Each structure stands twice: as structure tokens, then as C-alpha cells.
Chains A and B, each alone.
Chain A
Amino acid sequence: MKKALFSALTLALLYGCASTPVEPEKPAPPSAAPEVQPPVSARPIQPAAPQGDALPDRSKRSVFYEYDKYDVKDEYRPLLQAQGKYLAENRGKKMLIQGNCDERGSREYNIALGQRRAEGVKRMLLLMGATGTQVESVSLGEEKPRCTEHNEACWSQNRRSDMLYGGEY
């Protein structure tokens, strides 16, 4: 019983922040830790890419979808163009596209739906210059929700494809 209570507390601590659907992303941006070493040195590590703006931080490398849909909306074209170009110019770079779904419906069907979402993103990247060996599309279905409440505000965040570069997953 005590154990269950403890787990419930751990759960609350872990997911407490995620359940306020405001800004769930918090990993890399250096602005979060002010008094540590100067963050300046983090910038120039970027590889030979001539266009500095080609690689937005990972929280901006997501495509969102309507319920039960997998088509990429026009608003994401500039993002995919930039990523495709970056991959074309950096053949050594690898990308994993993870497709996600909201919690509604069959878990296995959602694996297939998430796969189709990720595959759609992959196909567009290939059209824009990336190669098949650089990009792998996989599905997380409804298994790794970013937001865990049972409402549309949460669901809309979870219907998503994330484009992750090697080292980010």
C-alpha cells in the first residue's frame, strides 16, 4: 500500500508538469540555466552547414495532425524543405522520424497510423533531397504521449511526427 502511494507520488511528480499543456518541451535551450558556464561555446559546434538557420531546435521539428489524419498540412512545408535541404547537404547525418497518435482507438492500429504519419514526412524529405539511407520512419503509436490528459488540448499535441537527428533519441 505504502509502495502504491509512493508510486502515485512519483507519478504525480513526473507527470505533474506534463499535465499542464502549456509548454511541455524543456530539454536543450540554454536559457534555462543562467549561472552555469557561458553558453556561448555551444553555438559554433554546428558542423559544416553553410546555412545557419537550417536546423531549428528539436522542439520546432514537429508536424501536427488532425484526428485520424496523416496528411502533412501546408504550413509545415518550409520546415520540411529546410530539413530536406539540410540532409541533402549533410549526407553523413541520420534522422529518425517518430510518428505519434492520440490515445483513442486500438493501440496496434495507432502504431500503423503513426507509421503512416512518419512515412509521409519521410517521403517529403526524400523529395527535397534526403536519401532513404539517411531517414528512418518509425511509429510510437499512442505509447509515448507528450501530454497525458484525456481532452483535445492534449490529444492535438500527441498527434505528431518528430524529426530527430542522431544523438537526439
Chain B
Amino acid sequence: MNFQINCRRIVGGNGSGKALVTKQPINFLAMIDTKRYIIKDRNHELYGKSMKDAILVFPHAIGSSVGAYAIYSLKVNGVAPRAVICSNKADIITASGCAISNIPLVDTSEKASSSYIVTGLEIIVDADNKKIIIQTV
């Protein structure tokens, strides 16, 4: 069964994969290991995780304005998420990084995302139609 959540389209396109969910914001410049492309911040919920081919679900970016380049670097190195969902409101760092990297980006309400999306679920982000489709088997 599938069901859908409405979302806002920030960067168009669509992508599908397994959800990688965190409630903590991300500083893309400081928290990503640029050799192994995993989250290197020991205090972060996603410590040790790679975003490769996942649907990244997180509230918003924080800190360095250079975080936008860090998102682009994930794309160039083939380790980017297939789509990104900001579980509150998309921010300028994430929006500009995804726009230049052609990574579909949407945002949705905190309530909708935290009620339905958990790590490991198969998700389709259809940014152009403003839908997040959750496959519940």
C-alpha cells in the first residue's frame, strides 16, 4: 500500500530510495568527512552514515554558508542523496546546493514528516507534482 503527503517543490525532479531520517540540523561543511563521505560528527544522530542514494530527511541546514558547495561535492563524487526532504522549511544553503546539483528538494510540515517517515522506508519524492509517496509494503 502507498500513501502520499503533500509538500512544496523547491527544486524540481523526482527521486526514490530508502529514507535516512534525522531530527537534527546539519552543518554540511563541518559534519561531512570529505574522504569517506560519511557524517563525521560524533554528536550527530547520523554519525557514521552515508547519504549515498538515500532520501535525506532533515529539518534544515545550519552554520557555514559554504555548506552549499559541500552538497555539490557529494553530487560530483557520486555520493549524494537521490532527493532531499526538509522536514520543516527548506533553507537557502540546502536549496542552493540542491539547485546546482539537480537534486530534487521538497519541504513539508514537521508533523507530517515525523508521523509517517522513518529511516529505512521506501520513499518516492515527486517534486514536480508536490507529492511524497511512502511505500508501506
User: Is A bound to B?
Assistant: no
Binding site for B on A (CB under 8 A): none
Binding site for A on B (CB under 8 A): none
